[in-house]
Chain A
Amino acid sequence: MGHLLEIDDVTKHFEGLKALENVSFTMEEGEILGLIGPNGAGKTTLFNLITGTFPVTSGAIRFNGTDLAGMGPSKVAALGIGRTFQIVRPFAGLTVEENVLVALGVSHYTGFWKSVSRYRTTDTLAAARELLGRVGLGNLADRKGENLPLGLKKRLEIARALALRPKLILLDEPAGGLRKEEMDQLIDLVREINGEGISVLVIEHNMPVVMRLCRRIVVLDHGTKIAEGPPEAIQGNPQVIEAYLGREDDA
């Protein structure tokens, strides 16, 4: 009891391909947990399982004690799990403001009368402005999503995830493709979000970023969990080094 997120013996097979095998770990409220591993280790698959994109083959995923089995992505989002994508996907043809408004409407998409009400109200516009201000997009509200540079698209995705008023956000390689100063700003932003009580599960390939953000790391390799612990322990773990660099007698 008391875990925010519980990955309980999760297995996922895609027609014979074993994407994940008996993975278990837990996440506590207020934590920033890093999820690392070589390409094809199953990190994004795990994100897709948590968000309900496809069902687990066996095992269970619990969020705040609720089993997420059978819930589709929109339900999981409404429960308070936001996510960003490895390859950014803002709503290209919508304005920056509308991008955030879509997610702000999460509580309006369930009832008939709620979904037929106007979306541009003083309250929702103020909420959108506030979120955009928080990620530094305050003066770009009327810009089309597709017209932002990559770094800002990533911030827009974070603002959109925050608009769900989530307890947990899943960041899929937030630092990928960013310049050094953009990375520093991103780390500050993630810490700020976390400071407001939102837990963060982050997939990241950039080790310095992971080491600076996370107090605890889970390492996946070929669909299994091979290590879990604080950054220093992970860095020295022979199995992790082997997964990333290969065995000495291979070389």
Chain B
Amino acid sequence: MSAYYITVAITIGIYIILAISLNIITGYAGQISLGHAAFFGIGAYASGMLATKLGAPFFLCLPFAVVVTGIVGAILGIPCLRVKEDFLAITTMGINFVVQAVFLYVPFFGGALGISNIPVPSFGGAEMTKPMYLVMVIFFILIAVAVDGWLRRSWAGLALASIREDETAAEMSGVNLTRFKVVAFVLGSAMAGLAGSLYAHFMSFISAADFGFPESIVILSMVVFGGIGTLWGPIIGAIILGVAPELFRPILDYRTLVYGAMLVVLMRFQPQGLVGIDSFITRNVKRIFAKEAA
């Protein structure tokens, strides 16, 4: 496998983790977020700075990034508790701009120069090769899928679903809104922090520009494109929308045009997403399996 394919695969892998993490907040708990890239960035900066300023090894930087992003997610989640829907969308967008501005204008975070020379993680005494890095990313995807699957089957997951459906009815059924919204924000943010750490040590250079509002929209598009609120939707969305720009490389000038058209066509005909609940694909896959079982 050429280095190019591996690089694309690692990038898509990081997007898969991001999409899964946003799906917890927006898909399961129903809390729209237009600022998810902020948490991706916080994870990347936490990990990258711990590695470059204190020389900490990657396997310490990564858990550090997860914890820091989770804590920041809880703090930034607090203003989000009192707003809903359109207002929440604006609030999360604002958070994205603020976080990005802090990275850009506070000298401590490297300003416009960002953080460079983030070391490649070493494993067994030697620097990790790209294929090894890909294996590690896949390993973390599996962990993210496991956490996601566990959440869906737990009382906490059911509580999040009830909040998504009707907040008033949920709290009258014994669900503490504050507690479970914070759970969703912390879990989703921490997982985005994990993706950020993987990104920082893969790119070795990060700057505020990588974590702006457009990046948040890309992540949200992946979730919605694949099928919001499902386990497979964000994964498939991240793969397709991650591969698409690479496939359309020959028609460079029209890349964003095709990309945008894909989104528009899908939303027109399959608003629930490619493998969303009751989408064309889901229905047919179910039918085929039902036939085989019979």
Contacts and interface: CB of A to CB of B under 8 A. Distances in A.
Whether chains A and B associate is yes
A218 to B, nearest CB: 22
Interface stretch (A33-41, A112-120, A177-185, A208-216): A112-120
Contacts of B174: 74, 77-78, 103, 105-107, 109, 164
A90 interface: yes
A82 B169 CA distance: 10
Interface stretch (A91-99, A220-228, A231-239): A91-99
Interface in B146-195: 150, 153-159, 161-162, 164-166, 168-177, 179-180
Contact of B158 (A89, A98, A163): A98
A94 B165 contact: yes
A91 B159 contact: no
Given A91-B161, A102-B170, A114 B176 contact: no
A133 B154 CA distance: 24
A32 B176 CA distance: 29
B176 A103 contact: no
Nearest to A163: B173
A93 B166 CA distance: 10
Interface in A70-100: 72-75, 77-78, 82-83, 85, 89-94, 98
The winner among B153, B170, B177, B179 for most chain A CB atoms within 10 A is B170
Interface residues of A, number: 38
A103 B173 contact: yes
Contact of A119 (B154, B168, B171): B154
B172 A119 contact: no
B176 A92 contact: no
B169 A106 contact: no
A77 B172 contact: yes
Contacts of B150: 116
A45 to B, nearest CB: 15
A46 to B, nearest CB: 15
Given A102-B175, A109-B174, A164-B174, 13 more contacts: A73-B171, A83-B172, A89-B166, A91-B165, A93-B165, A98-B158, A103-B173, A105-B158, A109-B175, A115-B154, A116-B150, A116-B156, A119-B155
A109 B157 CA distance: 11
A134 interface: no
A118 B172 contact: no
A79 B159 CA distance: 18
Interface residues of B, number: 25
Contacts of A109: 155-156, 159, 174-176, 179-180
B152 to A, nearest CB: 10
Contacts of B154: 115-119
A145 B166 CA distance: 12
A118 B155 CA distance: 6
A108 B173 CA distance: 12
A127 to B, nearest CB: 14
B262 to A, nearest CB: 26
Contacts of A219: none
Contacts of B172: 51, 73-74, 77, 82-83
A160 interface: yes
A115 B156 CA distance: 5
A160 B173 contact: yes
- A-B pairs with the 3 shortest C-beta distances? A106-B174, A91-B165, A73-B171
Contacts of A115: 154-156, 159
Contact of A74 (B153, B161, B165, B175): B175
Given A98-B158, A108-B155, A118-B154, A85 B173 contact: no
28 contacts: A51-B172, A53-B168, A73-B168, A74-B177, A78-B174, A85-B169, A90-B166, A91-B162, A91-B165, A91-B166, A91-B170, A92-B165, A93-B161, A93-B164, A102-B158, A102-B175, A105-B155, A105-B159, A105-B175, A109-B159, A109-B175, A109-B179, A116-B154, A116-B155, A118-B153, A118-B155, A119-B154, A160-B173
A101 interface: yes
A105 B158 CA distance: 9
